Amino acid sequence: MGLRFDSRWEAERWGQLKSMERAGVVDQLDRQIKYELNVNGQKICNYIADFTYLLVDENGESKFIVEDAKGVLTPEFKLKKKLMLAIHNIDILLTFKKK
């Protein structure tokens, strides 16, 4: 059984990231990683990242990336993006399909 994706763009981006992983630009590529969003000990909701990975630069330094392949920015997603930054200090990288 193959992988399931929420959109064609997400599936396409996964293919791009897998190619980048083979080229050594991306390491520890994963998908559908769940983050709990809790405020003052109260669970508000979960955010499920499309992809997480280490982006490796030409000096061999790596940066942890949480990425979402987006078609539309919903109000719910905008709120979760702000919560991810406030709670986990993670600024989600948004990628959009080029027209």
* pLDDT for 71: 87
Domain locations along the chain: 8-96
Structural tokens at position 62: 């790596």
Instruction: Assign 3-class secondary structure to 50-84.
Output: EEEEEEECCCCCEEEEEEEEECCCCHHHHHHHHHH
Structural tokens at position 96: 């959009």
Residue-by-residue pLDDT tens, the chain, 99 positions: 578 898 999 999 999 999 999 999 999 999 999 999 999 999 999 999 999 999 999 888 999 999 999 988 999 999 999 999 999 999 999 999 887
The pTM of this model reads 0.91
With contact defined as beta carbons under 8 Å apart, do 76 and 83 qualify?
no
